[in-house]
Amino acid sequence: MNPQDDEQRRKNRNFRTIILLVVAGIFVLILLQTFRSNPSNNEISYTNFVSQLQQGEVQSVTIRGSQVKGMLISGKKFSTMLPTNPGTPDSSLAPLLQKKNVKVVYKQQEDRSFIWTALLYIVPMALIFLFWLWMLRRMQGEGTNALSFGRSPARTFNKEYSKVTFKDVAGIDEVKEEVEEIVEYLRDPQKFVRLGAQIPKGVLLVGAPGTGKTLLARAIAGEADVPFFSISGSDFVEMFVGVGAARVRDLFRRAKDETKSKNGVIVFIDEIDAVGRKRGAGIGGGHDEREQTLNQLLSEMDGFEKNDHVIILAATNRSDILDAALLRPGRFDRRIVVPPPDMKGREAILQVHAKEKKLGPDVDLALLARRTPGFVGADLENLCNEAALLAARRDKSQIEMKDFEDSIDRVIAGIERKGHLIREEEKKRIAYHEAGHALVGKLMPKADPIHRISIVPRGESALGYTLQIPLEEKYIYTKEELLARLTGMLGGRAAEEVVFGDLSTGAYDDLKKSTEIAKRMVVSYGMSERIGPLSLGRENGNVFLGEDLVLNHQEHSERLSSIIDEEIKKIIESCHQQAKELLSEHVELLTRLANKLLEVEVIEEDQLDQLLDLPSLQPA
């Protein structure tokens, strides 16, 4: 555990204790004052007091200012107040007391007005001040000084407190080699200085979520023998103007102080896009504070003052929205893309996460790596954990391949809904729908191999799915391969038309995805004969929205826009017609496959090959 966290918790406990003691003391004072000011149960009116005095029923009295306390001859005590200004006795009272032979004692009045008046003003102000101080600490999250808003909340780590090392990073060897160079420079700078080399002042890690950017930073903290500051980009931005810039200054001041005793310092800024967005792209007045923070960050990274020994390490998955001044050499000299792992990388990641788990002899990590295309490091870690949880739920002594297979289904399609009841007619339609996908996939030479077919309801809306996995990693697709994919996507809808003669809503997602692919073929990939090799679409670069393909018809003539729509429709209809023809020719195989699905609900790749006996239709 980080000692800074322990110190912070200790300060928080001390601060809470002080507040509780102050509040308790104030409560006691208020309680005492209440008791002091409570009227006595024996209090009588001044009129009754004078009447009893005239009748000779009063034995003795004690007068303190305007307050009178006494005892009757009967032994009963009483109290009353004089109807005069405090400290000025009633002029007619003294002769009457003397006449009735009443024992009188005068006492000097204690002037407490200043104390209680002061408390009356101080107590509310003290409570308001303590509440404000508490809110200040809650918003800032660090320090007991009310003026410490500008203090950076960055945490410091070193190799003793970060147990993650480069051995725990797998699947991205080239990226790991790049960042290892930074650690090596900090350990032995003379190796680079003697050749005139300079270490990059800033390294930007760019990649999709879950690819291992933050894990790399944690590994650097565990390997480097230098102070390591970690902070999130959102920590710089607050509701008060100037706080972000002050925190940037404080962060670099702390980093520079550390360089006096060390070879260097690493400052890691996670999700830097929160503070490094392009200037002028904000909506409303709040972006002014963010721009001030960014300007201060730019100045500290490569301004008038040199920071030769402070290395900036940052991570983002939105490099397209970062300010150009932030990305120039001298600030971020090196931009490292952290890509999703390939098949070998996924196998290496699985080996890291399966190291502490009890695996059965049938578990094949290489096969699992092939069956998880597109999975990143975080997905694979979650997959291993889900498999372990499933094995424990099934009271197994070790994790088997079946547990991993079921976990893949959970990650891809969602949790199995065992209690979801489906009418027989709907289940039959779903079976033919998925059988149509699978059979068209088997009949199309360029389609990816069918790995599994299922009609088990999963997730929020998936009533079934057909999983196709390529034999090898693919980075580009030919037109023929895309058309084969489109035909397979439309195979479910085509099967419903061939068998039932009508349509259903089950093909909603298929139509959505196939239309998107056809649109990209026409406007982005130049795969339309009428349009030709033109790129007419653009990726949506809006700062606050995700990237989608946007076709702005205002940029083209009405005739060209109409041709684009016609070409998209032509591709979809052609693939749909081809799927219908294939299924009509092999309707017997379609029925056989659908009936088998209704019987067993899940069909694996080898079972599908045996059932259809069509190995020659797909190339090896």
577 in a structural domain: yes
User: What is the count of structural domains for the chain?
Assistant: 5
State residue 585's pLDDT score.
93
Rounded Cα distance, 441 and 43, in Å: 100
476 in a structural domain: yes
Instruction: Kindly give, in sequence order, each residue whose CB lies less than 8 Å from that of residue 146, ignoring residues fewer than 6 positions away.
Output: 132, 133, 136
CA distances from 509 to 161, 444, 464, 570 (A): 48, 21, 12, 19
Rounded Cα distance, 206 and 184, in Å: 22
Rounded Cα distance, 346 and 369, in Å: 5
Domain termination site, one of 279, 304, 337: 337
Burial classification of residue 351, based on how many CB atoms lie within 10 Å of its CB (0-12 exposed, 13-18 middle, 19 or more buried) = middle
Assess whether pLDDT exceeds 70 at residue 152. no
Residues 13 and 71 in one domain: no
Q: Average of pLDDT values for 313-333?
A: 87
State residue 296's pLDDT score.
86
State residue 303's pLDDT score.
60
Q: DSSP E strands: which ranges in 225-278?
A: 228-232, 265-270
Residues 261 and 390 in one domain: no
State residue 619's pLDDT score.
41
State residue 111's pLDDT score.
56
CA 27 from centre of chain: 42
CB of 69 closer than 8 Å to CB of 79 = yes
Assess whether pLDDT exceeds 90 at residue 478. yes
Assess whether pLDDT exceeds 60 at residue 362. yes
Q: At what angle do helices 558-585 and 587-600 cross, to 10 degrees?
A: 80
Residues 402 and 436 in one domain: no
Residues 14 and 82 in one domain: no
324 in a structural domain: yes
Torsion angle, alpha carbons of 406, 410, 412, 416, to 10: 100
Residues 187 and 270 in one domain: yes
Q: Where are the alpha helices (DSSP H) in 158-242?
A: 173-187, 190-193, 213-223
> By C-alpha distance, which of 169, 213, 235 is closest to 316?
213
Q: Average of pLDDT values for 89-103?
A: 76
> By C-alpha distance, which of 300, 293, 337 is closest to 315?
337
> By C-alpha distance, which of 298, 214, 137 is closest to 290?
298
Residues 568 and 429 in one domain: yes
Residue-by-residue DSSP string for 401-418: HHHHHHHHHHHHH--B-T
Q: Is 447 helix (H, G, I), strand (E, B) or coil?
A: coil
Domain termination site, one of 106, 132, 151: 106
CATH number of the domain that residue 507 is part of: 1.20.58.760
Assess whether pLDDT exceeds 70 at residue 616. no
What residues pair up with 416 in beta bridges, in sequence order?
A: 458
Q: Which two tokens stand for residue 67?
A: 């307050």
Residues 237 and 100 in one domain: no
State residue 236's pLDDT score.
79
Q: Is 589 helix (H, G, I), strand (E, B) or coil?
A: helix
Torsion angle, alpha carbons of 347, 349, 350, 356, to 10: 140
Domain termination site, one of 377, 392, 413: 413
Q: How confident is the model at residue 545 (pLDDT cuts 50, 70, 90)?
A: very low
3-state secondary structure 529-547: CCCCCCCCCEECCCCCCCC
Assess whether pLDDT exceeds 80 at residue 367. yes
CATH number of the domain that residue 367 is part of: 1.10.8.60
Residue-by-residue DSSP string for 108-168: PPP--HHHHHHHHHHHHHHHHHHHHHHHHHHHH-S-S-TT-TTS---EEE-TTT----GGG
Rounded Cα distance, 570 and 282, in Å: 41
Which long-range CB contacts under 8 A does 548-551 form with residues at least 24 apart?
549/516, 549/519, 549/520, 549/523, 549/524, 551/519, 551/523
Q: How confident is the model at residue 29 (pLDDT cuts 50, 70, 90)?
A: low
CB of 404 closer than 8 Å to CB of 383 = yes
Q: Determine if the pTM surpasses 0.85.
A: no
122 in a structural domain: no
Q: Which two tokens stand for residue 265?
A: 């310092």
Higher pLDDT: 345 or 235? It is 345
Rounded Cα distance, 283 and 421, in Å: 48
Percent pLDDT > 90 in the chain is: 24
Q: Is 458 helix (H, G, I), strand (E, B) or coil?
A: strand
The strand order across the sheet containing 155-157 reads: 155-157, 228-232, 265-270, 310-316, 202-206, 334-337
Residues 406 and 507 in one domain: no
Rounded Cα distance, 382 and 378, in Å: 6
CATH number of the domain that residue 93 is part of: 3.30.720.210
- Amino acid found at 152: S
Instruction: Kindly give, in sequence order, each residue whose CB lies less than 8 Å from that of residue 14, ignoring residues fewer than 6 positions away.
Output: none
141 in a structural domain: no
Residues 480 and 497 in one domain: yes
118 in a structural domain: no
For the segment 268-303, what is each residue's pLDDT rounded down to a tens digit? 998 898 888 887 755 544 456 778 888 888 888 876
- Amino acid found at 36: R
Residues 281 and 211 in one domain: yes
CB of 410 closer than 8 Å to CB of 416 = yes
CB of 421 closer than 8 Å to CB of 574 = no
For the segment 505-528, what is each residue's pLDDT rounded down to a tens digit? 888 999 999 999 999 999 989 999
Assess whether pLDDT exceeds 50 at residue 143. no
CATH number of the domain that residue 294 is part of: 3.40.50.300
Place of tokens 């037109």: 479
**Domain region containing 73:** 46-106
545 in a structural domain: no
Residues 524 and 400 in one domain: no
Active site residues: 434
Assess whether pLDDT exceeds 50 at residue 423. yes
Rounded Cα distance, 360 and 371, in Å: 18
Rounded Cα distance, 177 and 184, in Å: 10
Percent pLDDT > 70 in the chain is: 77
Q: Average of pLDDT values for 378-400?
A: 92
DSSP state of 327: H
139 in a structural domain: no
Q: Which two tokens stand for residue 255?
A: 């980093």
Assess whether pLDDT exceeds 60 at residue 455. yes
Residues 213 and 327 in one domain: yes
